[in-house]
């Protein structure tokens, strides 16, 4: 009965998060579902509290980065990126796609995938409208890179933070091991999307208005110092949330003084209901794990850290991401692969970051992207999955092979 109840609670939480009727926040169902599995005895309240305590630093970091990204937008960083992308079209749309890839990869890696979906994608769509070119190639670039380009740093994705804690690596060692998989994912993704959208990319862009590029240097410096702070806090054994908080405080103070930002906008950027959803989802997943899923997944996961084992682990993680969403998938798999070693943890990370490009349900970022692009295009589930099927397996394989190469170079 505890297993049935836990699975039903997980299905309800994920189903509501995917559909979000009336735009209600995910926490509307996640909070009572977590309370239900505790009251029903599917998970002891001590274990539930331990799960919340484990996730709390990760959620705190996520809150700080969400605010930091929004403040960068208030400073004009993403508008400047749009102007630069428009200027890159003198040689045709291929150059525009290159600039979209470059900026999307950098934003995802440094400011997290949420910034790419929520803040950069509208800029990309506006640039496509200005140039009178099809938006689909460039919009799909932001969709896919918001997932696959989040491999680089521990701070690029919520899944990365969870894996970072489990792998026991330093910030710099993690980044070194994931650099080759990150580059491989971006390169393969670019080649495949360019082939898939060859017809759309042949449309000649109109000449863009000559708007001056007003680069917000203060914001760039703060972001750079925050990125350096991530490495420093890791060396000191502190949570990277402290560096993200410092960057958000500095930019927030400037935004309030210059009136580019407001207390209301900063509070909204925190997205407290989503943070509550993440914590409660962790409790529900822990209940499912304790009532049978852990044993079932142990039978499926390959053992060891050899190349074939890493490919198998990444594939299992990718499939699970498209069944239950990538955040529950990483919560399920990390406890099982952590004893195996850091290489297995990083293989899971590749699976849960690259795998979601296969279907809408793979990640919440995919669903958020769909709501962002609806004004300019209305990609169906079939279209998204068709493009994902053509790109995700090659990107996954290339990334794991690159991880294997990185392990030989940098060790674990």
Q: Is residue 102 packed enough to be buried (19+ CB in 10 Å), middle (13-18) or exposed (0-12)?
A: middle
CB 7 within 8 A of CB 21: no
CB 96 within 8 A of CB 205: yes
Q: What is the pLDDT of residue 91?
A: 64
pTM: 0.86
CA distances in angstroms from 30 to 1, 24, 39, 274, listed in the order given: 20, 12, 14, 10
Q: What is the pLDDT of residue 281?
A: 86
Distance (Å, rounded) from C-alpha 341 to C-alpha 168? 9
| pLDDT more than 90, % of the chain | 45
Query: Does the pLDDT at position 327 exceed 80?
Result: yes
Q: What is the pLDDT of residue 352?
A: 96
Distance (Å, rounded) from C-alpha 298 to C-alpha 317? 12
Q: What is the pLDDT of residue 90?
A: 65
Q: What is the pLDDT of residue 51?
A: 86
CB 189 within 8 A of CB 274: no
Summarize the confidence of residues 284-309 as an average pLDDT: 85
| pLDDT more than 70, % of the chain | 99
- pLDDT tens column, 155-206: 888 899 889 989 989 899 999 999 999 999 999 999 999 999 999 999 988 8
Query: Does the pLDDT at position 315 exceed 90?
Result: yes
- pLDDT tens column, 196-245: 999 999 998 887 667 777 888 999 899 999 989 988 887 888 888 888 89
Summarize the confidence of residues 321-338 as an average pLDDT: 87
Distance (Å, rounded) from C-alpha 263 to C-alpha 269? 10
Name every residue whose Cβ is closer than 8 Å to that of residue 264 and which is 6 or more positions away in sequence. none
């Amino acid at each position: 009965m505890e297993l049935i109840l836990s699975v039903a609670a997980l299905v309800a939480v994920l189903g509501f998060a995917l559909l979000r009727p009336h735009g209600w926040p995910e926490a509307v169902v996640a909070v009572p579902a977590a309370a239900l599995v505790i009251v029903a005895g599917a998970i002891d309240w001590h274990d539930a509290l331990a799960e919340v305590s484990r996730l709390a630093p990760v959620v705190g970091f996520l809150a700080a980065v969400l605010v930091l990204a929004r403040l960068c937008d208030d400073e004009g960083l993403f508008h400047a990126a749009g102007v630069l992308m428009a200027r890159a079209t003198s040689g045709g749309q291929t150059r525009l796609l290159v600039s979209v890839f470059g900026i999307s990869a950098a934003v995802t890696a440094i400011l997290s995938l949420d910034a790419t979906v929520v803040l950069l994608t509208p800029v990309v769509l506006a640039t496509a409208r200005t140039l009178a070119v099809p938006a689909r190639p460039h919009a799909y670039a932001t969709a896919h890179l918001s997932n696959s380009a989040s491999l680089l740093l521990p701070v690029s994705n919520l899944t990365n933070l969870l894996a970072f804690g489990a792998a026991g690596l330093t910030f710099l060692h993690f980044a070194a091991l994931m650099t080759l998989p990150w580059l491989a994912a971006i390169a393969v993704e670019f080649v495949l999307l360019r082939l898939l959208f060859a017809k759309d990319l042949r449309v000649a862009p109109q000449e863009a208005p000559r708007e001056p590029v007003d680069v917000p240097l203060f914001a760039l410096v703060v972001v750079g110092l925050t990125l350096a702070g991530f490495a420093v806090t890791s060396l000191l054994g502190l949570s990277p949330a402290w560096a993200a908080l410092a960057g958000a405080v500095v930019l927030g103070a400037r935004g309030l003084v210059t009136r580019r930002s407001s207390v209301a906008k900063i509070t909204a950027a925190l997205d407290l209901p989503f943070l509550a959803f993440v914590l409660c989802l962790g409790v529900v997943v822990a209940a499912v794990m304790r009532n049978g899923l852990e044993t079932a997944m142990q039978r499926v996961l390959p053992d060891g850290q050899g190349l074939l084992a890493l490919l198998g682990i990444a594939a299992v993680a990718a499939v699970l991401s498209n069944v239950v969403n990538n955040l529950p998938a990483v919560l399920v798999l990390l406890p099982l692969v952590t004893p195996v070693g850091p290489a297995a943890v990083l293989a899971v990370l590749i699976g849960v970051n690259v795998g979601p490009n296969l279907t809408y349900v793979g990640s919440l970022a995919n669903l958020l992207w769909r709501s962002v692009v609806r004004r300019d295009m209305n990609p169906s589930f079939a279209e998204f999955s068709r493009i994902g099927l053509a790109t995700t397996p090659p990107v996954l394989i290339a990334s794991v092979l690159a991880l294997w190469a990185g392990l030989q170079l940098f060790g674990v």
